[in-house]
A and B are shown apart, each in its own frame.
Chain A
């Protein structure tokens, strides 16, 4: 059983604050690491797919880093806005090519 852990479980920040959260995953048999954003009443949507150690991806105010040797990824949100409120899921793909999801970080941005 693959262990994909996300922390914190939930987070409340003020509008304008920057924040980050963590995904840890097995450091062996790595193939890809995904980040998804899941807004209430919508479907999860992919933010990033990262495959190489040291990868850094950016989309607007959101960025992510990847360390496959130690088995962690960080997601950063700069200048959080209320529309960033969502559950952020990471998912690990190993040699079996199937995604194993973490339980998510629920972010609430207060106006």
Chain B
């Protein structure tokens, strides 16, 4: 069966510090991978998606970046965090060529102070 894990689960970082959130998927190959963010009181906002290694599409301009160094690994990064980067980040995957049903990771709560 397929599993998805992301870490760390919680993170408290000062403004201006770097960020790295990791996500890995097991039990499937060539998945679509996604990073979503839920800001306080709002829905899920798509940040990045990837259809293959090294292929990253950005949906929202910001100081975050994403990378996919391996087929089942997706990393969300920032060189310098802003206060507005605080939120709940979810990694997700979907099968290629299907209706796009998403399978989510456990989430990462980021607080920028």
Enumerate chain A interface residues (CB-CB to B < 8 A): 4, 6, 31-32, 34, 36, 42-46, 49, 51, 89, 91, 93, 97-104
B46–A99 touching, CB < 8 Å: yes
Cα(A57)–Cα(B83), bound, Å: 42
Which of the 9-residue segments B14-22, B74-82, B101-109 touches chain A?
Answer: B101-109
Enumerate chain B interface residues (CB-CB to A < 8 A): 36, 41-46, 49, 59, 90, 99-107
Known contacts: A43-B90, A43-B107, A44-B90. The answer to whether A34 contacts B43 by CB under 8 A is: no
A99–B99 touching, CB < 8 Å: no
Cα(A45)–Cα(B19), bound, Å: 27
Q: What are 28 A-B contacts defined by CB distance under 8 Å? A: A4-B43, A31-B99, A31-B100, A32-B99, A32-B100, A34-B102, A36-B102, A42-B106, A43-B90, A43-B105, A43-B106, A45-B104, A46-B101, A46-B102, A46-B103, A49-B100, A49-B101, A89-B44, A91-B44, A91-B102, A93-B100, A98-B100, A99-B100, A99-B102, A101-B44, A102-B43, A103-B42, A103-B43
B101–A101 touching, CB < 8 Å: no
Main secondary structure of the interface of B (DSSP, over half): loop
- A-B pairs, 9 with minimum CB distance: A103-B43, A43-B104, A101-B44, A101-B43, A49-B99, A32-B99, A46-B101, A44-B104, A49-B101
Count of A-B residue pairs with CB < 8 Å:
52
User: Which chain A residues border B36 with CB–CB below 8 Å?
Assistant: 101
Cα(A98)–Cα(B42), bound, Å: 18
Cα(A103)–Cα(B36), bound, Å: 13
Cα(A61)–Cα(B41), bound, Å: 28
A104–B43 touching, CB < 8 Å: yes
User: Which chain A residues border B105 with CB–CB below 8 Å?
Assistant: 43
User: Which chain B residues border A31 with CB–CB below 8 Å?
Assistant: 99-100
A100–B90 touching, CB < 8 Å: no
Tell me how far the C-beta of A68 lies from the nearest C-beta in chain B, rounded to whole angstroms. Answer: 14
Question: Closest residue to A100 on the B side, CB-wise?
Answer: B46
User: Which chain A residues border B103 with CB–CB below 8 Å?
Assistant: 46
User: Which chain B residues border A49 with CB–CB below 8 Å?
Assistant: 99-101
B41, B102, B105 interface centre (most CB from chain A within 10 Å): B102
